[in-house]
Amino acid sequence: MKFLNFDFSKIKKFLEKLTEVLLLVVAASLLFGVLFGPETAFVGSVYQNFVSILEMVGQDGLIALVSLIVIFAILKK
């Protein structure tokens, strides 16, 4: 049966590329959120969601540090 004989490596490569693109979008929105503030249209909602997650973890000063770590980790690739 040809249906059961499909290649998982193609699916894996597609999901890896999709994840890479989404991580770049999140990193860019975090950077714009830090630069322009959370009032920006799309960027603000991503930034505010990220802030609420980090507030569950720790103090407000940690937000900028973790945002920078995420941005530099993406740019390092």
6 near 14, Cβ under 8 Å? no
Q: Cα–Cα distances in Å, from 55 out to 67, 74, 75, 76?
A: 13, 22, 25, 26
pLDDT of residue 50: 74
Residue 40 is given by DSSP the state S
pTM for the whole structure: 0.55
Q: What is the DSSP letter of 31?
A: H
| 12-61 pLDDT, tens digit each | 899 989 988 988 888 887 777 777 777 776 676 777 777 777 677 666 56
pLDDT in tens, 48-70: 777 777 677 666 566 677 777 78
Q: What does the pLDDT read at residue 58?
A: 65
